Structure 1
Amino acid sequence: MTDPATHPTTSADTLPKPTAMQVGSLRVTALQDGHFDLPTAFLTSPTGESPIADATFNLDVNAFLIQDANRNILVDTGCGSQLGPTVNKLVPSLRAAGLAPSDIDAVLCTHIHPDHTNGLIDAQGSAIYTNAQVFVHQNEIDFWLNDGRREQATGELRQSYEWAHEAFSPYAGRIEPFRSGGVLAGIEAIPLFGHTPGHCGFQFDGGGTDQLIIWGDVVHNIEVQAREPEISVLADVNQSEARSTRLSIFDRVTADDVLVTGMHVKFPGFGRLRRAGAGYEFTPDP
């Protein structure tokens, strides 16, 4: 069961209250950075048909705070100051949950895209999480933080490289690359490649059967992509691999009946996936 965090938000008219859930020994709090309204064409179907009749759809941008007896861990950092007025609300959301950025011990990055890692820095380019180690998959470092690739990139892709460089530079000496398996005690990295070369999720062990998987950007529209997992998004670096990954993690969480959430599932995002006909159905929890 979930319960609203007791601290008020700094902008209650636009910012949902942090929502906390107990997963065994872990307290997991959903934080919202904001939202985007994206064109339906962002979703791509193998048949070429639009999966949504409306011209746009809402995309929530979430992050998650994981707390145990000794650690405050943040999963993703939101959009930062670069991506417009409807986002960059993560720090106020974190404060509404009772913490300052300096209280964060570790930041786990699902991948390096601007709506997930631009929030590592403030508008002046300084590190926000001054006491945190930053964990990111080695493939992401090799792809996004490679100076040669950055110099060869053009257009919007070049901008993404520049933003990645700016976001991670202030954390030099505090970046911890990983590949798979254990990242920190009780936290397993799950490779979910396709959306980006090192995109991954994390499984959090609350003890016994109390588990949570945060699957990053496996989906951008849970209602559509649960029903039709073949639908991908324009932002996928490798759409074919992203589809295979989505089917694989859908099978895993369905078979294990594990609680899941993601960065673009309608806030607060906690729920369970079940088979429904030829596809799946997502049921929010509660």
Structure 2
Amino acid sequence: MTINRRTILAAAPAVALTAGAPAMAQQASTAAPQASGAGQAPGFYRYKVGDIEVTAIHDGFASRPLEGFVRNAELGDVQKAMQERFLPTETLPIPFTTLVLRSGGRTTLIDTGNGDMAPPTAGRWMANFRAAGFDPANVDTVVISHFHGDHINGMRTKDGNAVFPKAEVMVPSAEWAFWMSDERMSQAPEAMRGAFQGVRRVFAPIAKDVKQYEAGREVVPGVTAVAAPGHTPGHTAFAIQSGNGRLMVMSDTTNHPALFVRNPDWSAVFDMNADEARATRRRMLEMAASERMQVSFYHAPFPATGHIAKSGSSYEFVPVQWSVAL
């Protein structure tokens, strides 16, 4: 992936926020009392992919001003897309949903949420995780898709304690090479330094034990890493297969589907390489649609899973029908 000064500068302010910049950390102090999810039932949803049990864990949402969020579209066009989906036209509510996989007596996480670095409307992950019957002390493996803060901050508390003390941690090698590079950090604009520091806060204490994986590798049984660059240098999706069941974990291939599934050529402010992110998005959406493969998104409305339908030169996200049965 080509990451140059222009792409870094364009993404720097947004990446700083996703990495748990001081402003977001300050907001987190008000989030803790709300983390029980008061006002709603616990946010978890189970479904099966063959013999693998998947549990979606909701971590709440963050609101982002709509102006400037899509870098290559007029605000009026973005507002129209929001209005057509009965969403607010001034701010974008961005949901967060991670996955827990149970197979062969082992528990695997795909990403970890915001942790206690969350904005006030997020930080629900641990309460929902425990409500689903899980214990962080019993997590066997944590697989990370990329190093933005809303995906990694759940690994470590603000006080520096490991949340999953027994877990093996697996990360994309390209992400590690970029974000853990002292040279990259020294060359980064000031607005992006916090992102590099946030990555080090999470990973430096366990650096010698972190396992790096390459695209195409089966990271745990039934889960294969799929290269999906553009959003970040080593951004990774995951193909889950068990028996006749298949699920494509899209990670941040799109942000909110109301904008970026219907308009796959739009570029979110968080995408570090917009051209590559658009190409990845088109490729992944086309594959999911043509193969009628179930997908999960990190930033779709909960439970963040469904299918992709082709619609002319665009696509539509079709959520699953909620079921009480596995």
TM-score of the aligned structures, taking structure 1 as reference length: 0.92
Once residues 179 and 204 of structure 1 are traced to their aligned partners in structure 2, the CA distance between those partners, rounded to angstroms, is 16
Match of 1:205 in 2: 241
Match of 2:309 in 1: 274
Once residues 215 and 105 of structure 1 are traced to their aligned partners in structure 2, the CA distance between those partners, rounded to angstroms, is 22
Once residues 56 and 283 of structure 1 are traced to their aligned partners in structure 2, the CA distance between those partners, rounded to angstroms, is 23
- Are 2:261 and 2:317, in contact at CA under 8 Å, matched by a contact in 1? yes
- Equivalent pairs counted in the alignment come to 277
Once residues 114 and 51 of structure 2 are traced to their aligned partners in structure 1, the CA distance between those partners, rounded to angstroms, is 29
Deviations 1:263-283, CA, capped at 9 Å, x for gaps: 101111110001012211111
| One-letter amino acid matched to 1:20 | R
105-114 vs 166-175, which deviates more? 166-175
Once residues 182 and 280 of structure 2 are traced to their aligned partners in structure 1, the CA distance between those partners, rounded to angstroms, is 28
Pairing 1:232-243 to 2, within 5 Å after superposition: 232-243=267-278
In the alignment, which of 42, 50, 58 is matched to residue 32 of structure 1? Answer: 58
Task: Work out whether 1:17 is the aligned partner of 2:52.
Answer: no
Once residues 42 and 21 of structure 1 are traced to their aligned partners in structure 2, the CA distance between those partners, rounded to angstroms, is 36
Once residues 32 and 17 of structure 1 are traced to their aligned partners in structure 2, the CA distance between those partners, rounded to angstroms, is 5
Q: Which runs of 5+ in 1 are unaligned?
A: 1-8
| One-letter amino acid matched to 1:94 | F
1:94 is paired with a residue of what secondary structure? helix
Once residues 79 and 42 of structure 1 are traced to their aligned partners in structure 2, the CA distance between those partners, rounded to angstroms, is 23
Pairing 1:6-155 to 2, within 5 Å after superposition: 10-13=36-39, 16-44=42-70, 46-49=72-75, 50-53=77-80, 54-155=89-190
The offset of 1:34, in angstroms, is 1.6
The offset of 1:152, in angstroms, is 3.1
Match of 1:245 in 2: 280
Q: Which has the higher helix share?
A: 2
Deviations 1:192-230, CA, capped at 9 Å, x for gaps: 00000000111111212x011111101112022122111
1:253 is paired with a residue of what secondary structure? helix
Match of 2:20 in 1: none
Once residues 162 and 65 of structure 2 are traced to their aligned partners in structure 1, the CA distance between those partners, rounded to angstroms, is 32
Moved >4 Å (runs of 4+): none
Task: Work out whether 1:185 is the aligned partner of 2:211.
Answer: no
Once residues 270 and 114 of structure 1 are traced to their aligned partners in structure 2, the CA distance between those partners, rounded to angstroms, is 22
Once residues 113 and 42 of structure 1 are traced to their aligned partners in structure 2, the CA distance between those partners, rounded to angstroms, is 19
Instruction: Give me the CA root mean square deviation.
Output: 1.7
The offset of 1:10, in angstroms, is 3.9
CA pair 136-59 structure 1, distance change in 2 beyond 3 A: same
TM-score of the aligned structures, taking structure 2 as reference length: 0.81
Match of 1:172 in 2: 207
The offset of 1:87, in angstroms, is 2.0
- Are 1:191 and 1:201, in contact at CA under 8 Å, matched by a contact in 2? yes
Once residues 219 and 277 of structure 1 are traced to their aligned partners in structure 2, the CA distance between those partners, rounded to angstroms, is 19
| One-letter amino acid matched to 1:216 | S
Once residues 249 and 65 of structure 1 are traced to their aligned partners in structure 2, the CA distance between those partners, rounded to angstroms, is 22
